[in-house]
């Protein structure tokens, strides 16, 4: 029968992180609960939606937590409701005490709230991932890589493999990360400081977006482990499990062109603002595109909607080389690409109006490349 007292703020923080894996509308009702396991060493909070699972450990060693454990045990509590109740408590210290029949009493100040829970044995087992031979990554590097690629993954389930991000480690140091929804592609390459066993996995982009939120900037490194169909990101207190996508990721290397006929360098922020204006009107057109014209070194953007109006925009460039060109594309893809490009200047290279064009940071052309497919118009 559980009994402990804890700092409310620390407990709430840990619950809120765990909650990110919990959906209150899960088809499996028990997955809307948080599992609370109290041992002599501390408290483990577990949440899962079947795809992602998060385990969060609060140690008795953690001074901020002020955790005093009188009696161990485990229980399941409705996650959203429990978090609301804890956050409403009046005092900074909270005492949790299990009484008969899976009931816990929360005491804080002069407030006493009794909640009904469920037996912890009913909670599904999370798949085990062997924690031998970790690959250690800097959290900031991994998060940046995710931010640069995950947005380009597909949100449509028609080709499930494209809803993931392809992570490949070769030669124990070379990490390649790619995502594509077949209209655009984003690829980041980097060399790891520390060696690891080679791997080739497809991680759901949704899981990666949760990873970015759960692993805050104060967590310097994460250990990464793989099993057959799961992986685990682990820091000192948090274990974040996600399922992997099954199937073979398409060969994206062959899509990347190497020879171009026209190249222009833009200020990233200005180009993005121009495309955001263009998008306001392109949304009201039939094919939703903006037309880019490169004529004698001058670049301009155009949208015409018979119902709403038109945009004509002269674009500032830092350099234009090669042939004249007229090309149409969905401005949202370019806006997303420019958001992901963490660089003040961007180099865009074209082959022809019907071939994908590439974007690379003007400073570093090798490690980060994006591809956007144009739309044919007549």
The pair of structure tokens assigned to 311 is 């945009």
In this structure, are residues 81 and 52 in contact, taking their beta carbons and an 8 Å threshold? no
| Residue 94 CB, nearest approach to a copy of itself (Å) | 13
What distance lies between CA 166 and its chain's CA centroid? 13
- What lies within 8 Å, CB to CB, of 217 at 6+ separation is 139, 140
Interaction between residue 298 and a copy of itself (CB under 8 A): no
Residue that is written with structure tokens 């690891």 in the block: 196
In this structure, are residues 274 and 316 in contact, taking their beta carbons and an 8 Å threshold? no
Interaction between residue 355 and a copy of itself (CB under 8 A): no
Interaction between residue 68 and a copy of itself (CB under 8 A): no
| Residue 89 CB, nearest approach to a copy of itself (Å) | 7
Binder among 40, 61, 100, 110 for a copy of itself (CB under 8 A) = 110
Of the listed pieces 64-72, 314-322, 348-356, 357-365, which binds a copy of itself according to CB under 8 A? Answer: 314-322
Interaction between residue 115 and a copy of itself (CB under 8 A): yes
**Pairing verdict, β 199-204 and 164-170:** antiparallel
Give the residue from 35, 127, 30 showing the smallest Cα distance to 73.
35
Interaction between residue 377 and a copy of itself (CB under 8 A): no
Give the residue from 258, 286, 282 showing the smallest Cα distance to 334.
282
Binder among 114, 170, 200, 363 for a copy of itself (CB under 8 A) = 114
Site size for a copy of itself, by CB under 8 A?
32
Interaction between residue 93 and a copy of itself (CB under 8 A): no
The DSSP annotation for 157-204 comes to TTSGGGGEEEEEEETTTEEEEEEE-SSEEEEEEEE-SS----EEEEEE
Binder among 81, 156, 182, 319 for a copy of itself (CB under 8 A) = 81
Interaction between residue 24 and a copy of itself (CB under 8 A): no
Binding to a copy of itself, residues 270-289 (CB under 8 A): 270, 273-274, 276-277, 280-281
What angle (nearest 5°) sits at the alpha carbon of residue 188, between those of residues 184 and 194? 160
Of the listed pieces 65-73, 80-88, 132-140, 173-181, which binds a copy of itself according to CB under 8 A? Answer: 80-88
Interaction between residue 308 and a copy of itself (CB under 8 A): yes
Rama region for 101: left / alpha / beta (φ>0; ψ in -120 to 50; rest): left
Closer to a copy of itself by Cβ: residue 192 or 308? 308
Interaction between residue 112 and a copy of itself (CB under 8 A): yes
Interaction between residue 103 and a copy of itself (CB under 8 A): yes
- Residues in contact with a copy of itself by the rule CB under 8 A: 78, 81, 84-85, 88-90, 103, 110-116, 270, 273-274, 276-277, 280-281, 307-316
């Amino acid at each position: 029968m559980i009994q402990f007292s804890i700092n409310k703020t620390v407990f709430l923080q840990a619950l809120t992180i765990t909650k990110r894996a919990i959906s209150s509308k899960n088809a499996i009702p028990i997955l809307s609960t948080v599992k609370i396991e109290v041992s002599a060493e501390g408290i483990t909070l577990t949440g899962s939606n079947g795809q992602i699972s998060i385990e969060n450990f609060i140690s008795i060693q953690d001074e901020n937590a002020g955790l005093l454990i009188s009696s161990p045990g485990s229980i399941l509590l409705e996650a959203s409701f429990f978090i609301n109740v804890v956050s409403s408590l009046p005092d900074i210290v909270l005492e949790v005490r299990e009484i008969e029949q899976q009931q816990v009493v929360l005491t804080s100040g002069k407030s006493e709230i009794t909640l009904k829970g469920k037996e912890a044995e009913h909670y599904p087992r999370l798949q085990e991932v062997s924690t031998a031979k970790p690959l250690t990554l800097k959290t900031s590097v991994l998060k940046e890589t995710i931010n640069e690629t995950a947005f380009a993954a597909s949100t449509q389930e028609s080709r499930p493999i494209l809803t993931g991000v392809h992570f490949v480690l070769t030669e124990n140091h070379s990490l390649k990360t790619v995502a594509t929804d077949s209209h655009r592609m984003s690829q980041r390459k980097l060399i790891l400081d520390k060696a690891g066993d080679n791997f080739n996995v497809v991680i759901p982009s949704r899981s990666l977006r949760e990873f970015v939120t759960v692993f805050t900037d104060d967590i310097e490194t994460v250990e990464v482990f793989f099993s057959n169909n799961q992986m685990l990101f682990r820091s000192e207190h948090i274990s974040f499990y996600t399922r992997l996508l099954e199937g073979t990721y398409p060969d994206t290397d062959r899509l990347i062109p190497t020879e171009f006929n026209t190249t222009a360098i833009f200020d990233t922020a200005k180009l993005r603002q121009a495309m955001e204006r263009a998008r306001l009107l392109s949304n009201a057109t039939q094919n939703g595109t903006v037309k880019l014209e490169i004529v004698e070194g001058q670049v301009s953007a155009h949208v015409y909607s018979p119902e709403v109006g038109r945009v004509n925009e002269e674009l500032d460039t830092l350099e234009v080389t090669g042939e004249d060109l007229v090309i149409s594309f969905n401005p949202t893809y370019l806006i997303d690409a420019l958001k992901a490009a963490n660089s003040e200047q961007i180099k865009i290279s074209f082959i022809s109006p019907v071939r994908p064009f590439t974007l690379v940071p003007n400073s570093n052309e090798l490690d980060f490349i994006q591809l956007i497919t144009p739309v044919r118009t007549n």
